[in-house]
Structure 1
């Protein structure tokens, strides 16, 4: 961000927001380690995200459109593979918001939030390459309807 104008959010910014959304009380050192950045670089990103209004508080409220694409990824496992084996690798992805082990024709349902179709494609390929994964299907969210 320069002179009060918004800057484009990159993958590290979105990953930082994802980490904070999971636990907004993480120390900067822990965030930096998870992002593969220095403490000062991470602190500078936080300052810019706060100054631009992307981060409005530490319940982490993001500006609409700052993470624009949600999708459900349906993961089917190979025979012998288990969700317990796969869950740690899935939850390690900052884009993952929810991970459910389910019964039925698929084994896991993962809700992810990313900034672009390209990032969604990369996430899908990442999951497809995990040991024990037979198939990954992707369903982008078109609208969210909340009930009581």
Structure 2
């Protein structure tokens, strides 16, 4: 199932669930204008087809003391598939790395790192990121403010 196969009710289900993942089927049905049974059938189909890949709680990282956000450009010494696979596996083991994207551009990866403060970030950079396989260079950009995050519901 891809985006072109989603009708107005499927998109409404997704829009509501992105904003409120713990909503009951009855309330979801009322919000999208269908009865409970067809809403539940559509929801199960969206799950079965992989459009909805799971459910999770969103926590406020600032309330957990993780309010330092850095973006790191990473250049590798080797970009063959085996080197990329080795790097990809290694970054998944570092909990402070929130996101990693392979980039087409002047560097190879862009990472979002979340830590307690600059001192904690420096530790993560020196002890973990810089020691990742095939890393040749990093450049760090510190975020001063998050202007927009988690806006997927606006797509639908």
Q: TM-score, normalised by structure 2?
A: 0.52
Corresponding residue number in structure 1 for 2:57? 59
Corresponding residue number in structure 2 for 1:112? 113
Aligned residues: 91
CA drift at 1:83? 2.6
Q: Judging changes above 3 Å, is the alpha-carbon distance between structure 1 residues 79 and 115 closer, same or farther for their aligned structure 2 residues? A: same
CA drift at 1:84? 2.2
Q: What SS does structure 2 have at the residue aligned with 1:105? A: coil
**Divergent runs of 4+, >4 A:** none
- For 2:74 and 2:119, how far apart are their aligned partners in 1? 19
CA drift at 1:117? 0.9
CA drift at 1:95? 0.8
CA drift at 1:64? 3.1
Give the RMSD, CA atoms, in angstroms. 2.0
Structure 1, gaps ≥5 residues long: 1-57
Structure 2, gaps ≥5 residues long: 1-55
Q: What SS does structure 2 have at the residue aligned with 1:139? A: strand
Q: What SS does structure 2 have at the residue aligned with 1:109? A: strand
Q: What SS does structure 1 have at the residue aligned with 2:100? A: strand
Q: TM-score, normalised by structure 1?
A: 0.54
Corresponding residue number in structure 2 for 1:78? 77
CA drift at 1:60? 4.2
Residue 128 of structure 1 pairs with residue 130 of structure 2: yes
Deviations 1:48-70 (A, max 9, x none): xxxxxxxxxx7142363521101
CA drift at 1:88? 1.4
- For 2:99 and 2:112, how far apart are their aligned partners in 1? 5
- Which protein has the larger Cα radius of gyration, Structure 1 or Structure 2? 2
- For 1:99 and 1:63, how far apart are their aligned partners in 2? 18
- For 1:72 and 1:64, how far apart are their aligned partners in 2? 17
CA drift at 1:87? 1.2
Q: What SS does structure 2 have at the residue aligned with 1:129? A: coil
